[in-house]
Amino acid sequence: MEVSDLAPQPHRTNERYEAVFASNRDIFEGARVLDLASHDGRFSFAALKTGAAHVTGVEVRQSLIDKAEETFAFYGQDPETYRFVCGDLFEVLARESFDVDVVLCLGYLYHTYRHTELMYRLHHLEPKHLIVDTMVTADAEQDLRVIGEPNAKDIRSASQDDWSVGRVLVLRPSVPAVQMLMHAYGFEIESMYDWQGRLAGRPVEAGLKGYARGERATVRCRFRKEIIQEAWDPVVALPGVASPPAPPRAGGARNEPDPAPAPPAGGWRERVNRVLARATGYELHRAGTGAGGGQA
Ligand SMILES: C[S@@+](CC[C@H](N)C(=O)[O-])C[C@H]1O[C@@H](n2cnc3c(N)ncnc32)[C@H](O)[C@@H]1O
């Protein structure tokens, strides 16, 4: 976690709102939403304001749930439209079943080592969509990097669980690893938010730098149970290193904005491929469909 994450960052939160909600309005209308690691409920609230019919937030820290409930009451939110469950999300997902259309996994995938367990649970919930917002490594392979959580007591960090002795270990995925993880549990990436295009040409505040550098990604996935039966021809390598830092421009001032890249053209798969290719040096390719296949 970056220290700057602790300070209030309305701009960062608004930009994340754009990436997660405003860009995906079509899936929130009337939806039942499960917000994993819901923190102080800000994105649970955003889900309702984007048209969701009901949201369940799961959060391990009671003080954050108290804050969420206080906020929802302050804004007069109908108590029938939300519920917060306090607990370790692995325990909650193991003991409760949720009837949900959209699962939000925002700011959590890099706070755990237990990705397969998480995805197993999500697979069995069979939501229509899953939105993941996560820190990623720049690796162009399907890698998970082991990291010692800097401070597991911090309210934005992983909670200690029965498998941790002192320091909590977490795994940070590369984008190809996220792709593979999703695919293995029946989710396919429908789109990846074009953070670099969005932030290009604008001064970027500290909390958004990770997105601007390609160190965080936001992906929208849809559930198709049958894809776990399909052959996984993981990715086609393109030349280049994943998410290279922008080269210094000759004579350019350090904070001078980069020109905005041209918007990608083509069908949705082609657009996803281009954004993934730009972020990772790789592109989506599934056996039989060919990279850049037609409209879904
Ligand atoms: C980085 S914050 C992300 C909060 C919010 N979803 C967002 O994207 O801004 C991580 C959150 O996960 C919660 N958390 C960590 N481990 C958890 C667990 N095992 N079960 C439930 N919540 C957990 C933390 O308390 C914290 O609120």
Distance, CA 4 to ligand 1 centroid (Å)?
A: 17
Q: Is 91 helix (H, G, I), strand (E, B) or coil?
A: helix
| Longest alpha-carbon distance in the chain | 59
Query: Which residues, 6 or more positions from 290, have their beta carbon under 8 angstroms from its beta carbon?
Result: none
Ligand 1 atom 18, closest CA: 88
Beta carbons of 192 and 131 less than 8 angstroms apart: no
Rounded distance, CA 40 to CA 95, Å? 23
Distance, CA 276 to ligand 1 centroid (Å)?
A: 26
159 close to ligand 1 (CB < 6 Angstrom): yes
Token pair in block for residue 238: 């393109």
Rounded distance, CA 1 to CA 249, Å? 29
User: What pLDDT was estimated at residue 169?
Assistant: 94
Ligand 1 atom 12, closest CA: 37
Atom of ligand 1 nearest to the CA of 5: 1
Token pair in block for residue 199: 């932030």
Q: Which residue is it, tokens 């607990």? A: 87
Q: Which residue is it, tokens 């906020």? A: 71
Rounded distance, CA 29 to CA 35, Å? 16
Beta carbons of 272 and 189 less than 8 angstroms apart: yes
Q: What is the DSSP string of 29-81?
A: TT-EEEEET-TTSHHHHHHHHTT-SEEEEEES-HHHHHHHHHHHHHTT--GGG
Distance, CA 73 to ligand 1 centroid (Å)?
A: 22
111 close to ligand 1 (CB < 6 Angstrom): yes
Q: Is 183 helix (H, G, I), strand (E, B) or coil?
A: helix
Tens digit of each residue's pLDDT, the chain (296 residues): 343 444 556 799 999 999 999 999 999 999 999 999 999 999 999 999 999 999 999 999 999 999 999 999 999 999 999 999 999 999 999 999 999 999 999 999 999 999 999 999 999 999 999 999 999 999 999 999 999 988 878 888 888 888 888 889 999 999 999 999 999 999 999 999 999 999 999 889 899 999 999 999 999 999 998 888 777 666 533 223 233 333 343 443 334 444 444 444 555 455 555 656 655 555 444 433 333 333 22
Atom of ligand 1 nearest to the CA of 1: 1
pTM above 0.85, yes or no: no
CA nearest to 285, candidates 239, 240, 231: 231
106 close to ligand 1 (CB < 6 Angstrom): yes
Q: Which residue is it, tokens 């300070």? A: 7
**161 burial via Cβ count (<10 Å: 0-12, 13-18, 19+):** middle
Please tell me what DSSP assigns to residue 174: B
Token pair in block for residue 252: 């350019």
Q: Which domains does the chain possess?
A: 3-232 (3.40.50.150)
Atom of ligand 1 nearest to the CA of 161: 19
188 close to ligand 1 (CB < 6 Angstrom): no
